[in-house]
Amino acid sequence: MNFNITATIHLGRLRYNFEKISDIVGSNVSIIPVIKADGYGHGIFEVANTLCEYSNVAYLGVAHTEEAVLLRQKGIDENILVMSCMHGTDFEVMHSLNITPVIHSFKLLTDAIGFAKDKGVRFPLHLKFDTGMSRLGMNIEYAEEVAKLCSKEKDSIALEGLMSHFSDSESDSEWTLVQNDRFKSLIEFFESAGFDVKYKHIANTGAFVQHKETHFNCVRPGLGLYGYLPSADLKKTVDLKPILDVKSQLISIHELKKGEGISYGRTFRAERDMVVGVVAFGYADGLFRNLSNKMECLINGVRCRGIGSVCMDMFMCDITDADASAEDEVVILGSSGKETITADELAEKSGTISYEILTNIAKSIRAQKVYTD
């Protein structure tokens, strides 16, 4: 089968980014690479398998138990941390596969204790407290109650980590440091209560790049692994390499006369005679429809503007100046000649964030994933 669409994931760039992050945080700080959502769309197994090469990886961070189970089934034996554990019913499979849950509610904590007692085991876990994200995490006002319960049930549960999450680390330093101070106080409280917590982690990509005081002894990079930073200002601070290229092909070429419309709704009308290329890539492949008449692609090193509404399986572009032929390569993410299109560019034009672009683009079965060093 010939694939028109190819998503190339450069594992050598992934290693480069991880090593850059390691240099920033230093040798005394462990790393929990966040590989949830199919490794931000890049392939959870391949990303995990690559990062397992590094001794400073404390855990692989996933969102759901199903992701952790998949990694075990694929032969990944690194520590795995499930950060959004939903049900106490997952504890059985977690225990059997040596998967560690993040406990973010008092109910989950009591469920974990009950499970451990029933099984006659000591169940390792991390506790998550809310320091200002107001999403998941126990209220820090109840830290004393939680600590007392953990101390009482120390034969049933092993507190291996404390964590929280920043809400605005890429753009609001003042608020980030407020959250960080709350987390620091939480750590000090648990340590004064007699707990020897191995891993203390709150820093995401936006935090560890610019706030060394957020590192503690463990950080959780997500977006940075894949070559992106969460704000334009941060791009000046560290050189990362996007690891994903997405390419397709021109499947048809035709002329469009001045004044003629194109695609559904005829949202674009030609302001001059032009040559149109039809590209095999559409919203079923993760290209947002609101990029209609906004995006560009690269053909033979030339930027070609998208014209008309993005369709389910294809979009059209103006190739008048591209000297293009049918079956020529079309770059949707990546470089051609001296030009480059990034997830940041597509995000800005579609009014979203690079995270959403990466986790959506080239996810259809029509896209062949190719992994290269």
- In this prediction, residues 207-232 reach a mean pLDDT of 96
- Residues ≥6 apart with Cβ < 8 Å to 155: 122
* Domain residue ranges in the chain: 11-228, 244-372
Nearest to 83 by CA among 207, 201, 205, 191: 201
Q: How high is the mean pLDDT of the chain?
A: 96
Would you place residue 236 in the very low, low, confident or very high pLDDT band (cuts 50, 70, 90)? Answer: confident
Q: The domain 244-372 is classified under which CATH number: 2.40.30.30, 3.40.449.10, 2.170.260.10, 2.40.37.10?
A: 2.40.37.10
Distance CA 244, CA 254 (A): 30
48 within 8 A of 76, measured Cβ to Cβ: yes
pLDDT, tens only, 4-19: 899 999 999 999 999 9
User: What is the tally of helices (H) and strands (E) in the chain?
Assistant: 11, 20
Residues 37-59 have pLDDT tens digits of: 999 999 999 999 999 999 999 99
pLDDT tier at 362 (50, 70, 90 boundaries)? confident
- Looking at the DSSP bridge assignments, the partners of residue 131 are none
Query: What is the rounded distance in angstroms from the CA atom of residue 317 to the CA atom of residue 270?
Result: 11
Whether 317 and 288 have beta carbons less than 8 Å apart is answered as no
Name the fold adopted by 11-228: TIM Barrel (3.20.20)
pLDDT at residue 1 is higher than 60: no
pLDDT digits (tens, 9 = 90+) for 280-339: 999 999 999 999 999 999 999 999 999 999 999 999 999 999 999 999 999 999 999 999
Q: Which residues carry out catalysis? A: 36, 264
